[in-house]
């Protein structure tokens, strides 16, 4: 094994972190709107949101190439007006991770919001709370475990994204070489030691992420769901 550059680790974390933030905000926002509203075409739009979950990543990558290719409408427009090149850049990797991970966040957030008892929100309104205050103080804290699970799953999925990233961002060492890319091309070059190194790193990252989520959930959910020994606490 030659000297290993930590570029793929830093790039993977950067791409996954940005994609996770985008997906968390948009997924939470859309799931909140869709959880309580019924309108014509809702099922079709939701099916579209979840499509990347069932499509091969290469198909998603192909779709992104069609959208963001340098000669395509959106890609050309972004290049001409914002000087942004999506194809063969780390931004392309962020977009690929965002699209592929979005359904996980949307599903988690949707389930989390549907679980919140509408009566609690109604009760808060009768106590004089505005819609924003009800969301901030009732809906969000009660949906938080589900949202956090979505956040972690999104990060893990974005970190491991390979197929569509390869299609749109390609493999350019130092520019678009995320860890999954580094593993694939190390194996292809017969450098099993480098591949093993990156496999260990990505397994450790994924495992610690899930471990932290389980620990956090246990700590925070127990507080208001499990009775304390000796019954209700007395006044202190």
Partner 1 sequence: MFDAHLIKDLPDFKIDVAIKAAKGEVSVLFGPSGSGKTTCLDMIAGLTLPNLGHIHMGENTYFSSNQKPCPTEKRSVGYVMQDYALFPHMTTEKNVQYGMKSAQKSEKALALLDQFGISHLRNAYPHEMSGGEKQRTAIARALATEPDILLLDEPLSALDDKARHDALTVITDIQRNLNIPIIMVTHNWTEAEKVATRIYKIEQGRFI
Q: Which is nearer to partner 1, 43 or 235 (CB)?
A: 235
The torsion angle over the Cα atoms of residues 47, 52, 58 and 60, rounded to 10 degrees, is: 70
Nearest to 95 by CA among 8, 42, 168, 146: 168
Q: Are 54 and 135 in contact (CB under 8 A)?
A: no
Q: Which is nearer to partner 1, 83 or 234 (CB)?
A: 234
Convert 16-74 into a string of H (helix), E (strand) and C (coil): HHHHHHHHHHHHHHHHHHHHHCCCCCHHHHHHHHHHHHHCCHHHHHHHHHHHHCCCCHH
Q: Which is nearer to partner 1, 116 or 159 (CB)?
A: 116
Q: Which is nearer to partner 1, 5 or 115 (CB)?
A: 115
Q: Which is nearer to partner 1, 129 or 199 (CB)?
A: 129
Interface residues with partner 1 (CB under 8 A) are 117, 119-120, 122-130, 137-138, 141-142, 223-225, 227-228, 231-236
Least distance between partner 1 and beta carbon 119 (Å): 5
Least distance between partner 1 and beta carbon 149 (Å): 17
Least distance between partner 1 and beta carbon 111 (Å): 18
Least distance between partner 1 and beta carbon 172 (Å): 48
Least distance between partner 1 and beta carbon 144 (Å): 9
């Amino acid at each position: 094994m030659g000297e290993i550059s930590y570029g793929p680790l830093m790039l993977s974390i950067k791409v996954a972190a940005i994609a996770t933030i985008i997906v968390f905000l948009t997924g939470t926002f859309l799931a909140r709107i869709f959880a309580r509203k019924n309108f014509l075409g809702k099922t079709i739009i939701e099916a579209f949101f979840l499509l990347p979950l069932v499509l091969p990543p290469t198909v998603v990558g192909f779709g992104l190439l069609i959208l963001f290719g340098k000669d395509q409408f959106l890609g050309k427009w972004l290049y001409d007006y914002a000087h942004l090149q999506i194809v063969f850049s780390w931004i392309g990797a962020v977009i690929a991770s965002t699209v592929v991970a979005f359904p996980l966040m949307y599903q988690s957030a949707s389930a989390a919001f549907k679980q919140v008892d509408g009566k609690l929100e109604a009760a808060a309104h009768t106590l004089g709370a505005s819609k924003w205050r009800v969301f901030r103080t009732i809906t969000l804290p009660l949906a938080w475990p589900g949202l956090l699970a979505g956040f972690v799953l999104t990060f893990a999925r974005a970190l491991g994204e390979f197929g569509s990233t390869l299609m749109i961002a390609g493999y350019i060492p130092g520019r678009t070489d995320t860890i999954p890319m580094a593993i694939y091309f190390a194996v292809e070059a017969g450098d099993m030691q480098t591949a093993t190194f990156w496999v260990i790193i990505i397994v450790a990252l994924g495992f610690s992420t899930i471990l932290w989520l389980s620990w956090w959930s246990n700590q925070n959910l127990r507080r208001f769901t499990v009775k304390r020994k000796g019954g209700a606490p007395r006044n202190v």
